[in-house]
Amino acid sequence: MYIELNIELRTKQEEDWEDEEWYRTDRFSSEERKIVELFEGSFQKYHVRRRRQYSYKLTTKDEDYEEFWNFHEKHKKKLNIVITGYILYEQEDLEAADAFLLTFKKGCYYYDDWDEEKYDCMETVSPALGQWHPKPPIYLKLPIKTKRLFVQGMAGADTPDGENYISPALRQYLLSCGVDKEFFRPAFAKSNLNEPIAWRLWGADHVLPQESFMPFENPEEKIWLQDADTGYVKWIWNELDENVDEEIPDWEFYMNGDFKLYKMTLNKEGMERLTYVNEAYECIGNIRPTIINKELFWMIAKQVPEIKKYSEPIFFSEHPKGGYKKLQIRGKCHCCD
C-alpha cells in the first residue's frame, strides 16, 4: 500500500471555482509565477494532462516525494498548492485482507425528484443522527451506460453513500458459487416493477458488534455518538470543544484526503460474526457501511476485476476500544447536518 498525491497549482486570486477563469494560467502574479517555475524545475516529470495546466501526480514510491513536502512547507502561504491524497492498495495487500469495503467504478442512484415521491424507498432509522436505510421494495436508477452493462452480464455499481448493487447475472453467478439468497434484495426501475434491474448486497440482517470495526487511524479525533431512542450510532468529528470561530489557514483548506498510511481493522468479535455480507454497527455518514468477507470479494473480483483497484481492504487486529468520546443524544443533532 502507498500514498498517491494529486496536486494542482492555483493562483491566490482564484475565488469562484465554477468560473471558467479558474482555469486560466495567465492570472499568476509575478511572485507566484516564480514559485511555479521553481516547481516546474523540480517536478515537471510528474506532470499529468488534465483540464488545468499545472496538474501533477506523485506517490510515496517516487524519489522526490519528501522533497515535494519540503517545497510545500516553504511556499504554501504564497501559492495555492491543492493536494488530494489517496491510499492505493497492491495485490499483496488485497491477498492479506480479511474483509473489504467493496467499491465498483460505476454509480447508481435512488429516485428523489419531486415527481418521483412514490418511488422513494428511503426509511429514516434515526431522525436524531440523520441515518436512513433502503426499505423494500427498492427502486433504483441506473445511468444509461451502467444499465447496458447490467443487462449484458457481470457488473456492479454503487450509490453515492457506497451501497453496492450488482447485476442479475452476477447475482446468479454468486448463487451458483454457494452464496445464500438472503444476502440479496431486488431493486426495480420505475418503468418495470415486475423484473429486478439490480440486486443490493444485503447485510442488514448481519450487523457486526459495536466497536468491532475501526475505520480510522486516529479514533480519538472522533466521537462515538449514539441516538438514545433508536440505538443507532454515528461517527462524527470531535469538534465540540473547539473554537468554531477559529480561522482555517488557506493552505490547510487546500489539503484533503489521506496523507498517512493506515489500515481499517476488524477485531476478534467482528471476525467471529463475519459472513458473506454484513453491516457495521456504526455509521460513517448517513448509512451503515456494507462489509463483505474475503471469499465473496474474490468471487466478485473474478467477474468484475475493477473492484481490486477501487475497494478498500480490512485487516484483523485487536484494536483497543475507547480513546474517544462516547455520547448519547435525543432530538436533532446539528453536528450531523
Return the closest-CA partner of residue 25 out of 4, 40, 10. Answer: 10
The answer as to whether 257 is a domain residue is no
Tell me how many domains the chain contains.
2
173 and 133 in one domain? Answer: yes
Q: Are residues 234 and 122 in the same domain?
A: yes
Q: Are residues 295 and 277 in the same domain?
A: yes
Same domain for 77 and 189, yes or no, is no
pTM of this structure? 0.88
% of the chain residues with pLDDT over 70: 91
Q: Is residue 252 part of a domain?
A: no
Residue 18 has pLDDT above 50, yes or no: no
DSSP code string of 8-25: EEE-TT---TTSGGGG-S
pLDDT tens for each residue of 77-121: 999 999 999 999 999 999 999 999 999 999 999 998 877 888 989
Phi, psi of 51 (to 5 degrees): -60, -40
Q: Is the Cβ–Cβ distance between 81 and 103 less than 8 Å?
A: no
The residue to which cell 466497536 is assigned: 211
Same domain, 77 and 104: no
Is pLDDT above 80 for 22?
A: no
Quick one: pLDDT at residue 17? 47
* 202 and 304 inside one domain: yes
CA distance 299 to 8: 38
Per-residue pLDDT at 337 exceeds 70:
no
Whether residue 102 sits in one domain with residue 73: no
Single residue among 44, 62, 88 that ends a domain in this structure: 88
Greatest mean pLDDT among 15-19, 187-191, 291-295: 291-295
Instruction: Measure the N-to-C terminal CA separation of the chain; round to a whole number of Å.
Output: 33
Full residue range of the structural domain in which residue 172 is found? 91-244+262-337
Which of 88, 107, 140 is at the close of a domain? 88
